[in-house]
Amino acid sequence: MAPECGIRETVTIQGEATITHEDYVSGRLWQDAVCYSFYPIDLHYARGGGIDTRPLQPGTVPTVPRGALVPRGSRRLLAAGRCLSSDREANSALRVQATCMACGQAAAVLAAQAMGADFAYIGSAFIATEEARASDAYKQAIVDSNSDDIVYSNLFTGVHGNYLAPSIRNAGMDPDNLPVSDPSKMNFGGDKSKAWKDIWGCGQGIGTVNKVQSTADFVAQLKREYQVARERLLSPVAG
């Protein structure tokens, strides 16, 4: 017997828009779409006895509208995840992790824009700009690396963080076999090799960084890519 019970269907909001079964299986392109979904209708019979699975037709790509994340009558509130505004059949497909994560990221960007931000949080990519005070070797390592080169370890400070494997190798250590540090002995000053100075921190989004450029050029690139992604999302999906 399972040690705990997972609740598959829970409360959903009543949003400014509600995604229906027909919206979902037809691949409705909402004008305020914020992300895609992909999963088939996947209903469990309430009294047991099996699952009602209905695959989407080839080429059908459902979208999620901003209105489905906004509780009706609310102010300054977004609700992302499987609680989004949808009927039971549509929710059986929208509830899966990939769509929930996409809705969460969309809600985060919408919240950032509502607060007046031009972009959501970006960190590591700006290290590889001409104005950053990082060393040239650090910048080049970001350009040359990808998410496979990120090592999650608490060795260097006592607190877990993401670090670039090449810098760990340069310090004479094996990034694949790092010992675990005692969290009670935090040391942000470091020993022979200091975190962030010699052992370079970096996030997992560095795979998109392919050159060192000025901050102005990088921001312009982000703006172009955002507009292209938005236009692609709001364009009809080719059959």
Got the DSSP string for 177-218?
SPPPP-GGG--TT-SSS-BTTTB-B--GGGGG--S-B-HHHH
* Model pLDDT, residue 239: 43
48 contacts: CB under 8 Å, gap ≥ 6: none
- Mean pLDDT over 144-170 rounds to 91
Residue showing tokens 């695959």:
55
Q: How far apart are CA 179 and CA 155, in angstroms?
A: 7
Token readout for 78 is 């977004």
Distances (CA, A) of 239 to 19, 35, 63, 94: 22, 18, 15, 22
Mean pLDDT of the chain: 87
Give which of 131, 30, 26 is closest to 85, Cα–Cα. Answer: 30
205 phi/psi in degrees, rounded to 5:
-85, 10
Token readout for 179 is 């010992």
Percent of the chain with pLDDT over 70: 90
Indicate the residue type of 54.
R
pLDDT at 188 over 90: no
Q: How far apart are CA 26 and CA 46, in angstroms?
A: 25
Across 81-205, the runs of DSSP E, i.e. the strands, are 150-153, 161-164
Q: Cβ(64)–Cβ(103) under 8 Å?
A: yes
Q: How far apart are CA 86 and CA 134, in angstroms?
A: 48
Torsion angle, alpha carbons of 215, 216, 217, 219, to 10 = 80
Q: Work out the pLDDT band at 192, boundaries 50, 70, 90.
A: low
Percent of the chain with pLDDT over 90: 61
Provide the whole-model pTM: 0.61
Q: Cβ(168)–Cβ(151) under 8 Å?
A: yes
CA 63 remoteness from chain centre? 17
Q: Cβ(57)–Cβ(8) under 8 Å?
A: no
Token readout for 164 is 């670039």
- pLDDT tens readout for residues 51-61: 899 999 999 99
Q: Work out the pLDDT band at 190, boundaries 50, 70, 90.
A: low
